[in-house]
Amino acid sequence: MEEFIVTPYEVKGEVDYEALIEKFGTSRITEELIGRIKKHTKDIHFMLRRKIFYSHRDLDWILDEYEKGNAFYLYTGRGPSGPVHLGHLMPWIFTKWLQDKFKVKLIFQMTDDEKFLFKHDLTLDQTNRYAYENALDVIALGFDKDKTEIIVDTEYIHNLYRIALMVAKKINFSLVKAVFGFNQSTNVGLLFFTSMQSAPAFLESYRKKKKVPCLIPCAIDQDPHFRITRDVAPSLGFPKPALIHCKFFPSLAGADKMSASVPSSSIYTTDTVEVARKKVMNAFTGGKPTVKEQREEGGNPRICAVFNYLAYFFEEDDKKLLEREKMCLAGELLCGECKNYLADKIARFLEDHQKKREKAKNVLEEFIVRDCDSK
Ligand code: TYM
């Protein structure tokens, strides 16, 4: 198989998720672990059932502590470099499910500093503005106002900086160079940045002056930051944060991850229904070149972006998904029909999300916590 790369700064090639578990040293989510979760949640989110959330670190420990009465908090985030696409929503939808089921607090970090440092063409004002734009998408998903704090790095820096400094003192250049592939021309801000992304993983322990477990849901690309966070945790007297990792929501163009830098391959939450429909109609499918061949030989749902969109996001009903897969394989479905089915589902989702996003403007300030003046 061709080489692939997964870091927080670059995802390239066809990702072998099983190989990634070995490479990163994470653990597979087993049926037994899912059974343990179900004891508390009663039902199981389809992203867990389908192993879209497939890997973890110390999730069993999080459950041990929870069962002992030591509840965890959730921590996740966004690098605000532009509009949010459907892929970003995946870990957040799952995080919201965890918040609802376990009734726990969430700290959501907006790394306006990171994206300013990483994206040559963005000013700090722009990334800060995107932090607020993107927060509307987060709020639109329905997080509990009383249990959710959104922090924007440049505006919560007083609290984060002390922890980030403690972390930074434990990290040297050769480590971040090896983990992230940095080189002599990487700006020094990025060398420091892992310390900033680590800070919220210790924030509740720091505030409460006791060991509060932290669970981080994210896609597997963010794991390298948190490997470092976990390595330094014991020497700072903090518990290691646990993680639950998802695979990437696929691109409309085929196997790669949905990427914000290729607009036609991603659907943004701010896309109009017409634009989204057009993107779906141009999507890569597992169909055959002619109707005749499709009828005779069937399609290939495994490589089909339209089918994967349904499996990862838009078709929660396992029976309906399986039925569609069978019909496709048997040549009973043509790609046009599937595309229309998906486009209708996306249209309904976008209309609803965009309404909630508008309403979120009224409560935005209630979610944001600051210790510095906002712009
Ligand atoms: P960012 O903005 O690149 O991504 C936000 C979240 O979305 C996940 N993600 C995806 N998930 C599924 N399919 C995709 N195609 C896809 N692309 C991105 C990311 O893994 C992430 O969970 N540095 C971070 C921001 C951050 C953060 C955190 C993320 C700060 N603290 C704690 C997770 C946990 C970033 O730039 O994410």
> What is the per-residue pLDDT across 133-155, written as a single tens digit (0 to 9) for each?
999 999 999 999 999 999 999 99
Q: Which atom of ligand 1 is nearest to the CA of 258?
A: 15
* All CATH 1.10.240.10 domain ranges in the chain, comma separated: 263-359
Is residue 239 within 6 Å of ligand 1 at its C-beta? no
- With a 6 Å cutoff on the Cβ, whether 195 touches ligand 1 is no
Question: Which residue puts its alpha carbon closest to atom 25 of ligand 1?
Answer: 78
Cβ 222 under 6 angstroms from ligand 1: yes
The yes or no reply on domain 5-249 and CATH 3.40.50.1370 is no
Query: In the predicted model, what is the mean pLDDT of residues 237-253?
Result: 96
| Residue carrying structure tokens 């995080």 | 95
> Residue 265 — pLDDT band, cuts 50, 70, 90?
confident
In the chain, list all ranges with CATH 3.40.50.620: 5-249
Class of domain 263-359 (CATH, top level)? mainly alpha
Residue 75 pairs in a beta bridge with: 107
* Interval between CA 250 and ligand 1 midpoint (Å): 14
Expressed in angstroms and rounded, the spacing between residue 220 Cα and the centre of ligand 1 is 9
pLDDT digits (tens, 9 = 90+) for 305-331: 999 999 999 999 999 999 999 999 999
Q: Is the CB of 86 under 6 A from ligand 1?
A: no
Look at ligand 1, atom 4, and give the residue with the nearest C-alpha.
78
Confidence of residue 1 (pLDDT cuts 50, 70, 90): low
Angle between helices 223-236 and 188-208 (to 10 degrees): 50
Distance of CA 118 to the CA centre of its chain: 18
pLDDT at 261: 62
Going from the Cα of 104 to the center of ligand 1, the distance in angstroms, rounded, reads: 20
Q: What are the tokens at 54?
A: 């497939």
Find the mean pLDDT for residues 174-193. 96
Any ligand 1 atom below 6 A from CB of 257: yes
pLDDT at position 254 is 78
Q: Is the pLDDT of residue 117 over 90?
A: yes
Tokens of 219: 């896609």
Q: Binning pLDDT at 50, 70 and 90, where does residue 264 land?
A: confident
pLDDT at position 222 is 98
The CB density around residue 115, as the number of other CB atoms within 10 Å, is 22
Residue 216 tokens, joined: 């981080």
Question: What's the pLDDT band for 13 if we cut at 50, 70, 90?
Answer: confident
77 C-alpha to center of ligand 1: Å?
6
How close are the terminal C-alpha atoms of the chain, in Å? 48
Q: Which residue has the higher pLDDT, 259 or 86?
A: 86
On the question of pLDDT at 259 being above 80, the answer is no
Q: What would the mean pLDDT of 9-15 be, rounded to a whole number?
A: 89
* C-alpha of residue 244 to centroid of ligand 1, in Å: 13
Q: With a cut of 60, say whether residue 187 has pLDDT above it.
A: yes
HSE-CB at 41 with a 13 A cutoff on CA atoms is 22
Which residues fall within 8 angstroms of residue 197, CB to CB, at 6 or more apart? 77, 109, 111, 114, 222, 225, 226, 229
Confidence of residue 348 (pLDDT cuts 50, 70, 90): very high
Give the pLDDT band (50/70/90) at residue 373: confident
Q: Which atom of ligand 1 is nearest to the CA of 8?
A: 23
Q: Say if residue 260's pLDDT is above 80.
A: no
70-88 pLDDT, tens digit each: 999 999 999 999 999 999 9
CA dist 328 and 320 (Å) reads 12
Which atom, in ligand 1's list, is nearest to the CA of 218?
22
- 91 CB within 6 A, ligand 1: yes
| Distance from C-alpha of 46 to C-alpha of 165, rounded to nearest angstrom | 39
249 pocket-lining for ligand 1 (C-beta < 6 Å): yes
Indicate whether 233 pLDDT > 90: yes
Structure tokens, 137? 């998408």
Determine if ligand 1 sits within 6 Å of the CB of residue 248: yes
Instruction: Tell which one of 89, 90, 222, 244 to mutate to probe ligand 1, the residue whose CB is within 8 A of the most ligand atoms.
Output: 222
- Residue 68 CA to ligand 1 centre (angstroms): 31
pLDDT (mean) for 203-229:
98
The pLDDT of residue 202 is above 80: yes
How many degrees, rounded to 5, is the angle at CA 223 between CA 221 and CA 226?
145
Residue 16 pLDDT > 80: yes
Share of the chain above pLDDT 70, in %: 97
pLDDT-above-90 percentage for the chain? 93
pLDDT for residue 319: 98
CA distance 40 to 47: 17
Mean pLDDT of 195-202: 98
Print the SS3 string covering the chain.
CCCCEEECCEEECCCCHHHHHHHHCCEECCHHHHHHHHHHHCCCCHHHHCCCEEEEECHHHHHHHHHCCCCCEEEEEECCCCCCEHHHHHHHHHHHHHHHHHCCCEEEEECHHHHHHHCCCCCHHHHHHHHHHHHHHHHHCCCCHHHEEEEEHHHCHHHHHHHHHHHHCCCCHHHHHHHHCCCCCCCHHHHHHHHHHHHHHHHHHHHHCCCCCEEEEEEHHHHHHHHHHHHHHHHHCCCCCEEEEECCCEECCEEEECCCCCHHHCCECCCCHHHHHHHHHCCCCCCCCCHHHHHHHCCCHHHCHHHHHHHHHHCCCHHHHHHHHHHHHCCCCCHHHHHHHHHHHHHHHHHHHHHHHHHHCCCHHHHECCCCCCC
pLDDT tens for 28-44 read: 999 999 999 999 999 99
Pocket residue to mutate for ligand 1, from 90, 218, 226, most atoms within 8 A of Cβ: 218
Position 282 pLDDT exceeds 60: yes
The string over 333-360, giving b where at least 16 C-beta atoms fall within 10 Å of a residue's C-beta and e elsewhere, is bbbeebbebbbebbbebbeebbeebeeb
